Structure 1
Amino acid sequence: MKRINIGCFAIWFVCFNALGISAFAQTHSMSKAYHPPKDPLVQKKLADWQDLKFGLFMHWGTYSQWGVIESWTLCPEDESFISRGGAHGNNYVEYKESYENLQMTFNPVDFAPEKWVTAAKDAGMKYMIFTTKHHDGFCMFDTQETDYKITDASTPFSSNPRSNIADEIFKAFRTGGFMIGAYFSKPDWHNENYWWPYFPPKDRNPNYDPARYPERWQNFKNFTFNQIRELMTDYGRIDILWLDGGQVRPVEVAGKSGRDGSQYFNQDIDMPKIATMARALQPGLIMVDRTVAGEYENYTTPEQEVPDTPLPYPWETCMTIGGSWSYNPDDQFKSSLSLVQTLVKVVSRGGNLLLNIAPGPRGDWDPVAYERLKDIGNWMKVNSEGIYGSKPVAPYSVGNIYFTESENQSVIYAFWLSDKDEVSLPETLMIPLEKVAKKVKKVSLMGSDSALGWEQRADRIAVTVPHTLSAGNQIKYSAVFKIEF
């Protein structure tokens, strides 16, 4: 089991990586402090999760029918990533009604989660997070708290024997050996106790003051508690509760909302009560109350970005396979080269990569997503030894070479990143190292039986690559050198 690097540190940096970010996907900043969990069961599960390195994220809901950004077109904020207009109307009231009526036509008849399990498993993914409910409030599980759900009679898919989509997904991935995570939105823009119909919505926050109407806010707290209890009770083993909507948090001083999404009001939903209940039902549950620094954010979640240097606590980069978190028929998918190399960069900094793939309105992924996962899987079948259970090691990266280390510190893996799909290695290359006190026993190229020439020097290893391996070697994206001590 991997040791967790924990402590209370400030994060004053995180830069965007070279992949870039589409304006179609909203991003969030991450917390500026970390508080390690005290529960030994949570500590153990968190350590196990850190070793998995690569996970699947899925945003899916009625919004897939329009191919618009998930939930956010309902939010009356003037943000660049929010655009409603078009064929669905420019009048907000009419738009909201049309959006919520998408429930009446949602019928993903191609839904077959076992297909996703096979593709994700072959790609080397080890855990998954699924959106049981996003901010719009539409539930992809059979909640008893609202009729705005996939299993309600007004939803065409409700007659399908697999209509409880979250349950079907969790069961399929659990059978496939995955760690299971439930995404749950704390804000609920459909619930009358969050956006009270008496007032128009003003932004992403409640449209009334919870302190002035405490009974209404208590009803919302009860609603949230009950829905999370359903997920913790009726859906088998849940390993991660991934909570979104960081504006829903307690604040000492309420202030006017800014464009950063800070809340108008104190939105305390009693996380201690929720956590106590959830962990009584799911012992060892990892909780990710993202962007809310404290004991319920067991790992941090830099979004669409990779830190420059390792972070001293558990973390996960969540990133889209294309430009959008939700299904977009015109989405442009990142290349296999970019995806593999992003995984390497994240792991070299000690993090996990949670890659989002959005199902479409009929209930399947874009064929390109399957192609990307197949490419990643082919690379992982040769090189995953340097990914799973690894930890960061100085110098972390130099130029196009990135490093990881085995748990017992007996092996360093040097990932030589190519600038194109096919790897063409130089006939001689230098691998910089800081572990000069150890004597190198062997240097080899993962996936090859050909012997390498090498010489250990004070702060590096000079490697001679045979001509047969320098080109036409069938290696893609990144060559991995295994250095044994």
Structure 2
Amino acid sequence: MVAAICVLLIAGCRQEETKITVLKAPSSKNLLCKDERIGWWRQARFGMFIHWGLYAVPAGEWKGEKVPGIGEWIMERAKIPVSEYEPLAKQFNPVKFDAEQWVQIAKNAGMKYIVITSKHHDGFCLWDTKYTDYDVMDATPFKRDILGELAVECRKQGIRLCFYHSIMDWHHPDAQAPFYPKYNDTSKSNPNFGRYVEYYLKGQLKELVENYGPLGIMWFDGEWIKDWTREMGWDMFYYCLSLQPDIIVNNRVGNGRQGMRGLSKSDEFAGDYGTPEQEIPATGLPGVDWETCMTMNNTWGYKSYDNNWKSREDLLRKLADIASKGGNFLLNVGPTAEGLIPGPSVERLAAIGEWMNLNSESIYGTMASPLGEVPWGRCTAKPGKLYLHVFDWPANTKLQVPGLKNKVKKAYLLADKKRARLLVTREDKDKITVTVPAEAPDPVNSVVVLEIEK
């Protein structure tokens, strides 16, 4: 379908008409199918989200008062005018930023990709863009291309680099800046929004792909604004594919997301996968690709006083829970204004990495459990194998596995390098019992492998 959206723009004393031509879907000959583009992502299962920008400077406080809510929304929550927020750039000097260290932290945790905020809702850009001086190279004393340094390190260390990019922009006059003091007012419309999309938003996306790619994902957000339409979502989706044919685009490029549940209302809306936020679906979603994004504490962007950290145990079990339902886990860190990933985040990622060193086979490339709900934990699967993630180790050494009709050829502990056989007995046609050691290999999540006949 081709549609033309005409927007009246005021330039000086005269009106101009900017046409947004919604791109046709490329022919099947020129378009990689979704399975060809998303295969690596389905294998990865675990990635790092990074929210970083000027909001790390106030760190949750404004004019001596703590501002409720998530840190990266302080401009909106504290009703800060653009003229007062902009000077934060002069204080943004993250001299302790070390791209090699950041990527190494992610890699050691077992993460396969990094998604960083190239531009969040506040409009500040973490790269040297020609479309504005409101960026790290021109507006700050730091004057280093953060995205460029990360791109180099990701390539060196074999991590896929991806960019979060906000459609909404509280700084740009053609977007939501005029809505102050309610930047997030979804009832308002900007008559110049078409110009912002065609010349600014698309221009910056082209820079990001061409200067720092190839990228893994273009991770959009801020699509709930009034001016963003379903047609614009499809246009942007195909625009990204025109820049890089194998790129993945999340469903927030369209405007059909159902709140924090993160799934699109239907396939009438653009996007390759759903994005539940701060929650995990209750069950698997057959035929649906999805990725839960989640914070380690209560904020995405750094807040100095937010110490409500999820435990190592909780995060490890969430990773298994998400994989058992066929999803990916995008776990967030919010670096400080100095450029450091907070210590509690580093500690938790290191602990996850220790577990992944022994058990990553039970996460990477796995599919949703065929067993349904199990009483002792979760289950992930690969062809011919089931991985039993045992949270509650049986005191009597008898691990009962309901719902399994396949013949078990071998059972062993994934952490056991010798792969010593465990005794398996069949209780009835769809339940077996595995005799396990008295002591759990891991107090949080021990993995028992069942090799089964297909």
Q: How many percent of aligned residue pairs carry the same amino acid? A: 34
Is the contact between residue 349 and residue 396 of structure 1 (CA under 8 Å) also seen in structure 2?
no
CA deviation vs aligned residue, 1:175-223 (integer Å, no higher than 9, x gap):
21122211000011000111354x644441478534xx3xx22321221
In structure 2, the CA distance between the partners of 1:140 and 1:440, relative to structure 1 (3 Å rule), is: same
1:354-433 map, 5 Å: 354-406=330-382, 408=383, 410-418=384-392, 425-433=394-402
In terms of mean alpha carbon deviation, does 170-179 or 185-194 score higher? 170-179
Aligned length: 397
2:117 partner letter: T
CA deviation vs aligned residue, 1:110-161 (integer Å, no higher than 9, x gap):
0101112212111111111110000000011111111111111x31101xxx
SS of the residue 1:270 aligns to: helix
Say yes or no: does 1:193 pair with 2:174: yes
In the alignment, what sits opposite 2:53?
Answer: 61
Is the contact between residue 399 and residue 435 of structure 2 (CA under 8 Å) also seen in structure 1?
no
In structure 2, the CA distance between the partners of 1:378 and 1:476, relative to structure 1 (3 Å rule), is: farther
How far apart, in 2, do the equivalents of 1:416 and 1:246 lie?
Answer: 39
In structure 2, the CA distance between the partners of 1:40 and 1:144, relative to structure 1 (3 Å rule), is: same
Say yes or no: does 1:459 pair with 2:452: no
How far apart, in 1, do the equivalents of 2:133 and 2:195 lie?
Answer: 17
Q: Structure 2 length normalisation: TM-score?
A: 0.82
Is the contact between residue 397 and residue 438 of structure 2 (CA under 8 Å) also seen in structure 1?
no
Of 225, 233, 247, 1:285 maps to 247
How far apart, in 2, do the equivalents of 1:202 and 1:367 lie?
Answer: 34
In the alignment, what sits opposite 2:403?
Answer: 434
Q: CA deviation at 1:48?
A: 2.0
How far apart, in 2, do the equivalents of 1:329 and 1:71 lie?
Answer: 12
Tell me which of the two structures has the higher relative contact order, counting C-alpha pairs closer than 8 angstroms and 6 or more residues apart.
1
SS of the residue 1:484 aligns to: strand
Q: CA deviation at 1:439?
A: 1.3
Is the contact between residue 394 and residue 433 of structure 1 (CA under 8 Å) also seen in structure 2?
no
Is the contact between residue 57 and residue 129 of structure 1 (CA under 8 Å) also seen in structure 2?
yes
In the alignment, what sits opposite 1:175?
Answer: 156
SS of the residue 2:313 aligns to: helix
Say yes or no: does 1:46 pair with 2:53: no
CA deviation vs aligned residue, 1:380-402 (integer Å, no higher than 9, x gap):
11111111111112223312321
1:307 partner letter: P
Say yes or no: does 1:123 pair with 2:109: yes
CA deviation vs aligned residue, 1:428-458 (integer Å, no higher than 9, x gap):
323324331x211111112134543321232
1:157 partner letter: F
CA RMSD of superposed structures (Å): 2.3
How far apart, in 2, do the equivalents of 1:202 and 1:268 lie?
Answer: 24
Is the contact between residue 195 and residue 207 of structure 1 (CA under 8 Å) also seen in structure 2?
no
In the alignment, what sits opposite 2:236?
Answer: 274
Of 298, 303, 306, 1:328 maps to 303
Q: CA deviation at 1:41?
A: 4.6
In the alignment, what sits opposite 1:308?
Answer: 282
1:435-450 map, 5 Å: 435-436=404-405, 438-448=406-416, 449=418, 450=420
Q: CA deviation at 1:480?
A: 0.8
How far apart, in 2, do the equivalents of 1:109 and 1:379 lie?
Answer: 32
SS of the residue 2:444 aligns to: strand
In terms of mean alpha carbon deviation, does 42-51 or 270-279 score higher? 270-279
2:446 partner letter: A
Is the contact between residue 410 and residue 422 of structure 2 (CA under 8 Å) also seen in structure 1?
no
Of 213, 217, 239, 2:216 maps to 239
SS of the residue 2:445 aligns to: strand
Is the contact between residue 93 and residue 142 of structure 2 (CA under 8 Å) also seen in structure 1?
yes
In the alignment, what sits opposite 2:66?
Answer: none
Q: CA deviation at 1:405?
A: 1.1
CA deviation vs aligned residue, 1:398-419 (integer Å, no higher than 9, x gap):
123211111x2x111111114x
Q: Structure 1 length normalisation: TM-score?
A: 0.77
CA deviation vs aligned residue, 1:242-281 (integer Å, no higher than 9, x gap):
0001214xxxxxxxxxxxxxx3x56578344433442222
1:54 partner letter: F
In terms of mean alpha carbon deviation, does 297-306 or 447-456 score higher? 447-456
In the alignment, what sits opposite 1:3?
Answer: none
2:407 partner letter: K
Is the contact between residue 315 and residue 351 of structure 1 (CA under 8 Å) also seen in structure 2?
yes
1:207-226 map, 5 Å: 209-210=189-190, 213=191, 216-221=192-197, 222-226=199-203
How far apart, in 2, do the equivalents of 1:149 and 1:207 lie?
Answer: 29
